Structure 1
Amino acid sequence: MPVHVVLDGASSGAQVPAQLMRIPISRISATTDCCDKYVKGKVVHKGPLVALGDEEFVLKTVIQEEDSHQSSSSEHTSINMVLFGSAAKEFSEAVNQEDVVVVAGFTVGNSPTAQKDNLHPCNLNLSGDHACLYVLRFLLRASQSPAAKTKRSSSPVPEGAKSAKVSKYMYAPLSDLKRGAVVNVYGVVVFFKQPFKTRGTDFCSSLKITDQSNQRVGCTIFCEKLEDHPKIFQMGDIIRMHRVKIQSFGGSVNLVNTFGFSVVTFDGRPGGAVVPRTSSKTFNFDQEDRRAVESLRIWAADQDFLPAVTKIPLSAVQPKAYFDLTCQLLFKAPIDTTCTLLKVWDGTKCPHPLLDVLVEPSTIEGPPSLSKERLDMAVNVLVYDNHAEVARNLKPGAYLRIYNIHANTNPTSNKVPATSERSSGQADPLVFVLHGGTSYGRGVRILPDDSPDMQELQRVVESFPQDTMTDSELNDCMMEVWSTPPESPEAFQEQFVTERTCSHALKQLTLAEVKQSGPDQTFHVRAQLRSYRPQRLHQSLKLHCTKCKSIKEVPDDVFLSGVFSEASRTQGPISEPWLQSGTVNLPGRRPQSPCRALTVLLATELIGMGKTKEIVFLSGSTLGEACHLAEAYQFVIPVTSSQGGVSLLDLSAPFLFQGRKRIYGCKRCSHVVMKEPDGDGVERLDEKMIAEAMGVVPLQYGLLMQFELHDGTETLEALLWRDAESFFHVSPEDAATSQEAQNRIRRTVDALCPGGSGVAEQPWMDLCLSSYLVEKDGHDHVCYQICHSSATQAQH
């Protein structure tokens, strides 16, 4: 039996073999001789048991060096372990998370997820009869008994919290962090961004913390569920994180979550109750934790690192100001897919005129009646882009904190038309806007019941009368105060029609007739758009190789930042004869010189030709620095050192920046050879010449969407790929860099598939389809593609 439970070092019939020698996780490599070695660690993550067939199982877990939170010198102290067959099944039944295990009889393989999970680059694999795993369980001593613990601690702990049973958590000062270690930390939040959706499946939180050592450390947290992210409501809150890994990013220390990660936050104001905020059902919390929070509160209160208070009431708002608003949500209504309107109040009256807006009464969600006094004090907040989705899930009556809201006096800049005329000399009306993105901490959070701000606001709003209005009074009032804008003046009237651009003389068929036909045919159809994928339209932008026909996702900035950071860490001297160091200016920044790891290299031949600074080779830079340089120089090529010379970064990153355009290369088809691009005999270099000189096969941008069509006879799924550019009248290259191009695509699909409308309201589309054969799972499938079709705005 491969799994044994060992009690206090001795078991009933099983004991860890004395001839085995322990090897630290950090010293494991793909060439390690494992025959007489064992690994000891704590189970910090236990995955589910997956059945592959009859008695065939697999299970993935993560173990961590027991003492890794006390030592900051070791790198890669956590490692993935994959168990197969009976070992997986017995592990699932016998081992719990937080158990200490001894692993022997394993083999070592490369970890395919190392770049994503930031763990050891190798896996431990256990299968067959030679694999052994010992679970170390220690009997509780008298001093560790539940009765003794109760006697020692007379102060109550919060509901859901539990005291540490055996081992004591150790917390590392932020000034003692060393790259690669997994640690537990406390800190005061000095900056934070609300969680935002990445291009993958996760949400990402970004924050910066400090402690009594006065060291500031950035933190990046990825979790699939919003509720697993830190519950931070204002700068100065206290945060406690367990099992975060130390990385170096852009020359600075950064903490990232790893397996077993947990987080608890506290209000940072001195004197208040120490109430943990967490989504975990159980967590460790005792008197020492309470003292740690109080100590950080007192210390932070005497510091001057926290910014001036940006939280102000509506009665103190000034035009054009950015501020944080604590308020109660009265009503909400969707404007379109990118904007949601919130009607909020905070018990005070805004002294400035407010913009009137109009919405469809049927779209308003809120209570059936409210006092006229409350509605007169309420204001409109337009919530855009990534925040609109969050706003749609809010419930009327909720108490909110809206961060970095803008008291806008120029509604046309947000495509918000005023619906009431303004007399000469009258002040511009205000409309409150939460812009898209996460800059400056923008976002919306629901305040918890124990929040002092929420309790204070609740006392204020409950002091107002609760009298109701008649239905007719409510309708009149709603038409008056919900006077609202769409995002563009004609958003509700804008219509698109589709037409076929081919010269085929074909009879129009129903979708049912099309599905009864074979492959390699062309059809004319008339159908409606029931749905489309992806719903997040930025995901429709792809990279494809015209040579090998491969298609890949466009990397997001979080991934690219990691590629640039890794290249900076391995940067060495460069002595390529056709390159020389130089100095360039970043737009809006001080001149950059070859300081720290950043080296600017210019092609000497081009300098001699009078084309100085047309090409900049950039070494040791961050992604942001490369983007800034691309604003001022025609071509920016990020490189790294390679045996004294230069080489391109991994082709997962752009090999060339040209203005806002990022140009990628195909890993499969490229054969990189670094040499100076030949500028002889040409008036101006272009990206094609640079790619050829470097042996790179450039990837092309493309738009890929799947439309679900229906016409009453059948439903059919069709790809829009080859002719997507002519369909939207937008090139994929423009869609990658231009907001205007992106807006056109969104307006088109919103018009062709209006959300919430019935079948009768959906426009009919005249389309040309082609059918083709695809082999999948050993079977042939007929698929369809939209071709020779164009969507244009209807003429009124």
Structure 2
Amino acid sequence: MPVCVMGEGAGPDGQGTASLTVIPISHISTSSNHAHHSVKGTVVLKGRLVSSPSHNFILKAVLQDDTDSNTSPQDGSINVVLLGTLAKDFSQAVNQGDVVVASGFGVGKSPTALKDKLHPCNLLLSGERAFVHVCQAPPADRTSQQDVKRKRPLLPAEVPKYTYTKLDNLKPGEVVNVYGVVVFFKQPFKSRGSDFCSSLKITDQSQQKISCTIFCGKLESHPQIFQIGNIIRMHRVKVHLYNDTLTLLNTFGFSALTFDGAVGAGVEPRTASKSFHFTEEDRRAVEELRLWAASQVLLPADATLTLSAVQPKMYFDLTCQLLAKATVDTTCTLLRVWDGTRCPHALLKLTVEPNIVEGPTFSEEREKLIASVLVYDNHVQFAQQIKPGDFLRIYNLRAIPGLVKMPGLSSSQSEVNHLSFHLHGGTAYGRGIRLLPGDSPDVQELRRVMEAFQGYDEVSHPDLNDSVLWPPLSPERGASVACSTERTCDHLVEPLTLSKVKRSVPGGVHHVRVQLRSYEPRRLHQALKLYCSKCTSMQDVPDDEHLDSIFSKAAADCGPLQPCSPPTWTLSGKVYIPRELSRRPPVRTLNVHMSAQLLSEGRIKELIFLTGSTLQEACHLAAGYHNVVPMRSSGGHLALLDPPAPFLFRGRKRFYRCKQCSETSVREPTTDGVIDEKNIGEALGVQLLKFVLLMKFQLQDASDTLDVFLWRDAESFFNVSAVDAAAYQEAQDSIRQTLDSLCPPGDSSGRRPWLDVCLTEYRPTEEDTQTFYQICHTSTFKPSCTRTPPS
């Protein structure tokens, strides 16, 4: 038996390991010969036994070296992969917390080292030479599943019992769970590797202050800390001794919950984890830390100010709502924000080109309420991800009086004493931006202030948030427009109440007179879908983050192309990204391939095949050329990018293909004087996906409510095409205006217009017993007067 179990408390130095040298885990490498070495460590994680066709069984575990307190978590913990009979025996005999000695192992590079932050190598144990000697932990230190099951059944409602260590009881090398009050923090920033890094300092009733460093690949996995004084709970952090100072580092299985630090506030955990355990004891721990922190003079003064309290040259934190934004260049982004107050100083108005502004425009009077925030350097990436309507907290913002001169920006010389706000690069003093959830106490207070602002209307957010109070939009864009609906069908049926519709025979057509009670999704971009008319599949529109990874991978894999591949296309060399398109110097070139026929006709700008580009570069080129087809190199030939990447860019519009129904190839298109997405798609063997709008409405009348879908006739309902809604802000604003008129946010049903609607009743398949309803043959219009409900 390759797994040998020693008695409880016995040393794991039994037969087979006496002649071997035990080496620290940190000394393991692929370049050394470990035939006469063994490794000793504690099993801190034991995975499940998995059946494998090639090895019968496979199991993964993590060993931690506790003998060297100066070893970092990355070097002191290593993945162990066991195969075959050894994996099965290990699963039965070894428990988490046991000390083991492994010998006869092979060493390879760990494919998960960047993700799990463990040793860059892993141990592979298989075959007759591999042995594992086990010293099982005494019952006081472990509880195996077998012991638990013999004592009593494990109920689904039971949760693990966690032990929390006070900060003055930390010992180097330990993996612990802790609670603390945040006394300093930095927002996550990009590390030198592939991860984001955040740092914070916490304290507790022991008065000990401990620094913590968190490395996670995703921003949402970092603790959601909004301000000093927040409470944090961290599981599975390792105590590390560095320069004679104890610090905490996240390790495998790390998780964190954060809470508002105000006494009397709700105890709702903030976390990105899909599941977590939070008991009444945890609630008491949070409340105790709040009361203790409130009685101590340990927290610095709150740096958060409103615009009404800002003075020139101050550094402060600002809680605000993003109204609009614009990319100035690769190192600077302009944010337009407000917080429901009026700054006593004149605010500098920075003018940018209208075509690069994301968000609505405002009248001159309303501009006096809006602050211009210039975001620089490492904060630009985050600024590009946020959307108008989001609530933000900007940390260590600086108020600067005077004229701002930057490429792409213009301002009046008479505004030399006006205030602008700058978020400089770096992370010193916690500098950064944090997106606030809509249900946070800070956002609720901000909305209360906005509601109380005198002389300004209530206008709901046009894209992302429900019932957000903005400075009123200019009449030409975003103003409230009265709307109603009318039926466009010729069905000769009498109007019914919703209660009668529900009792009707399935398969009919009905006319109803109703009000729109609610709709979803509230975020308009989620209503856009891609539909294949051939296989009738429907999918979400891919986000730019996913597309950027596809483009980057294709650019990295882009190899040399044959001179004419395929024969109807010719390699026409490289071109610079035009300065006027990219708004920066042309620092790199891209491979461009053009149709031989179009090239001979002198129409080289009609159609461009592009390889080696990023998503941003493809979008820039599409702004200046009619049709851009992103490609990759496949065996020296041109091929389309993998779905869900778009196969064609036309200005701001993107076109996608159905992976299941497309049989791609690269052929000369038939132009007939016009090149559009249809004949380009046919030449490429592409089944074109159609943009559609899919929404769910809840209708109501005096008798009942009814859930209905809107998608087949959504374009005629809104009088806006889905492809335009995917590309143009104006189309999105039109849809939002219509929805706000039909269902005013926060209003009672009395102000909602009565709608004449045609409904079809159907069941998706013959086997389905549930009946669904769909809006059809109905369009919105702007009435000259308000209609009243029937008596």
With normalisation by structure 1, the TM-score equals: 0.53
Distance 2:734 2:81 in 1: 47
1:545 is the counterpart of 2:536: no
Question: Which among 241, 248, 253 is matched to residue 214 of structure 2?
Answer: 241
> What residue number does 2:734 align with?
744
Question: Which among 332, 337, 346 is matched to residue 352 of structure 1?
Answer: 346
> What residue number does 1:611 align with?
603
Listed as ranges, the matches of 1:651-690 within 5 Å are 651-679=643-671, 682-690=672-680
Alpha-carbon shift at residue 759 of structure 1 (Å): 2.5
Structure 1 stretch displaced more, 691-700 or 559-568: 559-568
| Partner SS state of residue 485, structure 1 | coil
2:680 corresponds to which letter in structure 1? I
CA distance 1:388–1:257, shift in 2 (3 Å): closer
CA distance 1:382–1:608, shift in 2 (3 Å): closer
> What residue number does 2:688 align with?
698
| Partner SS state of residue 781, structure 1 | coil
Listed as ranges, the matches of 1:447-526 within 5 Å are 479=454, 485-489=471-475, 494-526=481-513
Distance 1:278 1:160 in 2: 17
> What residue number does 1:574 align with?
561
> What residue number does 1:55 align with?
none
> What residue number does 1:529 align with?
516
Question: Which among 765, 769, 794 is matched to residue 783 of structure 2?
Answer: 794
Distance 1:609 1:486 in 2: 52
Alpha-carbon shift at residue 729 of structure 1 (Å): 0.8
Alpha-carbon shift at residue 752 of structure 1 (Å): 1.4
Tell me if the contact between 2:305 and 2:318 (Cα under 8 Å) persists in the aligned partners: no
Question: Which among 208, 211, 233 is matched to residue 190 of structure 2?
Answer: 208
Alpha-carbon shift at residue 770 of structure 1 (Å): 0.5
1:648 corresponds to which letter in structure 2? L
Distance 1:434 1:707 in 2: 43
1:627 corresponds to which letter in structure 2? C
**Partner deviation per Cα, 1:414-458 (whole Å, 9 max, x = no partner):** xxxxxxxxxxx99999999999xxxx9665669xxxxxxx9xxxx
> What residue number does 1:306 align with?
none
Alpha-carbon shift at residue 381 of structure 1 (Å): 7.0
| Partner SS state of residue 665, structure 1 | coil
Alpha-carbon shift at residue 728 of structure 1 (Å): 0.6
Distance 2:675 2:399 in 1: 45
Tell me if the contact between 2:372 and 2:420 (Cα under 8 Å) persists in the aligned partners: yes
| Partner SS state of residue 631, structure 1 | helix
| Partner SS state of residue 567, structure 1 | helix
1:641 is the counterpart of 2:595: no
| Partner SS state of residue 559, structure 2 | coil
Aligned length: 534
Alpha-carbon shift at residue 671 of structure 1 (Å): 0.5
Alpha-carbon shift at residue 326 of structure 1 (Å): 2.5
CA distance 1:740–1:333, shift in 2 (3 Å): closer
Distance 2:647 2:545 in 1: 17
Tell me if the contact between 2:630 and 2:648 (Cα under 8 Å) persists in the aligned partners: yes
CA distance 1:693–1:350, shift in 2 (3 Å): same
| Partner SS state of residue 525, structure 2 | helix
| Partner SS state of residue 339, structure 2 | strand
Listed as ranges, the matches of 1:234-313 within 5 Å are 240-242=213-215, 244=216, 256=218, 279-280=233-234, 283-288=237-242, 291=245
Distance 1:537 1:45 in 2: 44
Tell me if the contact between 2:44 and 2:62 (Cα under 8 Å) persists in the aligned partners: yes
Distance 2:692 2:214 in 1: 42
Alpha-carbon shift at residue 660 of structure 1 (Å): 1.0
**Partner deviation per Cα, 1:182-232 (whole Å, 9 max, x = no partner):** xxxxxx98xx7xxxxxxxxxxxx7x334xxxxxx556469xxxxxxx8779
Alpha-carbon shift at residue 158 of structure 1 (Å): 7.4
Listed as ranges, the matches of 1:99-498 within 5 Å are 159=167, 162-165=170-173, 207-209=189-191, 216=192, 219=195, 240-242=213-215, 244=216, 256=218, 279-280=233-234, 283-288=237-242, 291=245, 325-326=316-317, 342-343=339-340, 350-352=344-346, 386=387, 388=389, 390=391, 401=395, 479=454, 485-489=471-475, 494-498=481-485
Tell me if the contact between 2:608 and 2:627 (Cα under 8 Å) persists in the aligned partners: yes
Structure 1 unpaired stretches of 5+: 19-23, 25-39, 50-59, 104-113, 120-132, 141-156, 169-187, 193-204, 210-215, 222-228, 233-237, 245-254, 268-272, 295-309, 356-377, 392-398, 410-424, 447-453, 455-473
Distance 2:531 2:456 in 1: 50
2:615 corresponds to which letter in structure 1? L
Distance 1:264 1:786 in 2: 42
Tell me if the contact between 1:434 and 1:442 (Cα under 8 Å) persists in the aligned partners: no
| Partner SS state of residue 498, structure 1 | strand
CA distance 1:340–1:159, shift in 2 (3 Å): farther
Alpha-carbon shift at residue 551 of structure 1 (Å): 0.4
CA distance 1:636–1:482, shift in 2 (3 Å): closer
> What residue number does 1:558 align with?
545
Tell me if the contact between 2:43 and 2:95 (Cα under 8 Å) persists in the aligned partners: no
> What residue number does 2:761 align with?
771
2:345 corresponds to which letter in structure 1? P
1:342 corresponds to which letter in structure 2? D
Question: Which among 717, 725, 729 is matched to residue 715 of structure 2?
Answer: 725
Distance 2:668 2:610 in 1: 14
| Partner SS state of residue 699, structure 2 | strand
| Partner SS state of residue 513, structure 2 | strand
> What residue number does 1:366 align with?
none
Alpha-carbon shift at residue 4 of structure 1 (Å): 11
Alpha-carbon shift at residue 240 of structure 1 (Å): 2.5
CA distance 1:276–1:506, shift in 2 (3 Å): closer
Distance 1:164 1:351 in 2: 53
Tell me if the contact between 1:387 and 1:443 (Cα under 8 Å) persists in the aligned partners: no
Alpha-carbon shift at residue 43 of structure 1 (Å): 6.4
Distance 1:407 1:498 in 2: 51
1:783 is the counterpart of 2:772: yes
Identity of aligned residues (%): 32
Alpha-carbon shift at residue 138 of structure 1 (Å): 7.2
| Partner SS state of residue 763, structure 2 | strand
Distance 1:570 1:388 in 2: 38
**Partner deviation per Cα, 1:214-264 (whole Å, 9 max, x = no partner):** xx556469xxxxxxx8779xxxxx98234x5xxxxxxxxxx5579xx7679
Alpha-carbon shift at residue 764 of structure 1 (Å): 1.7
Distance 2:584 2:347 in 1: 39
CA distance 1:647–1:482, shift in 2 (3 Å): closer
CA distance 1:314–1:644, shift in 2 (3 Å): same
| Partner SS state of residue 242, structure 2 | helix
Distance 1:333 1:313 in 2: 14
Alpha-carbon shift at residue 783 of structure 1 (Å): 0.8
> What residue number does 1:197 align with?
none
> What residue number does 2:107 align with?
none
| Partner SS state of residue 780, structure 1 | coil
- Taking only aligned residues, the RMSD between alpha carbons, in angstroms, comes to 6.2
Distance 1:16 1:509 in 2: 85
| Partner SS state of residue 618, structure 2 | helix
Alpha-carbon shift at residue 494 of structure 1 (Å): 3.2
Alpha-carbon shift at residue 568 of structure 1 (Å): 2.5
